[in-house]
Amino acid sequence: MVDNRLDTVFHALADPTRRGMLASLALGEKSVGELAEPFAMTLAGASKHVKVLEDAGLLSRRKAGRTHVIRLEAGPLAEAERWLKQWEKFWNVRLDRLQALVESDKKKESPNG
């Protein structure tokens, strides 16, 4: 079922642990253990999250001795962002509408201020 690239990326992003790992990787390369550390979870559990992110193409790893050095790969994030950007005009319309409501409320509340 999870086949498309957007499927796997959005699915990977739909979990707070995994988003936290990405945030951690934004600060620099990390080992799997370092990625796991902030979360109340076994290393094996964290390792599975890392694999989900890797399968989505969101990170890459190289082995250095017995540790795996993980780095962020932002390409798929850009792809997802591009997809979302498509909808900008729709939320702009909404925000305009909201703004208009706010303005008309202001007038009602203080017609002379």
Partner DNA sequence: TTCATAATAAACCGAACGGTTGACAATGAC
Partner DNA sequence: GTCATTGTCAACCGTTCGGTTTATTATGAA
**Chain contacts with a second copy (rule: CB under 8 A):** 1-2, 4, 6-8, 10-11, 13-16, 19, 22, 26, 72-75, 77-78, 80-81, 84-85, 87-88, 90-91, 93-94
Please answer whether residues 70 and 49 qualify as being in contact, where contact means their C-beta atoms are separated by less than 8 angstroms.
Answer: no
Query: How many residues would you count in the chain?
Result: 113
d(CA 57, CA 76): 6
Beta carbons within 8 Å of 81's beta carbon, 6+ residues apart: none
Amino acid letter for position 90: F
Provide the CA 110 distance to its chain's centre, in angstroms. Answer: 42
CA distances to 8, 70, 96 from 51, rounded to whole Å, are 12, 11, 42
Residue 78 binds which entry of DNA, a second copy, none, CB below 5-8 Å type-dependent: a second copy
Residue closer to a second copy by CB (options 17, 50) is 17
Chain residues 2-61 in contact with DNA, contact rule CB under 7 A: 2, 11, 14-15, 17, 31-34, 40-45, 47-52, 61
CB of 23 to a second copy, least distance (A): 9
Binding site for DNA (CB under 7 A): 1-2, 11, 14-15, 17, 31-34, 40-45, 47-52, 61, 63, 65-68
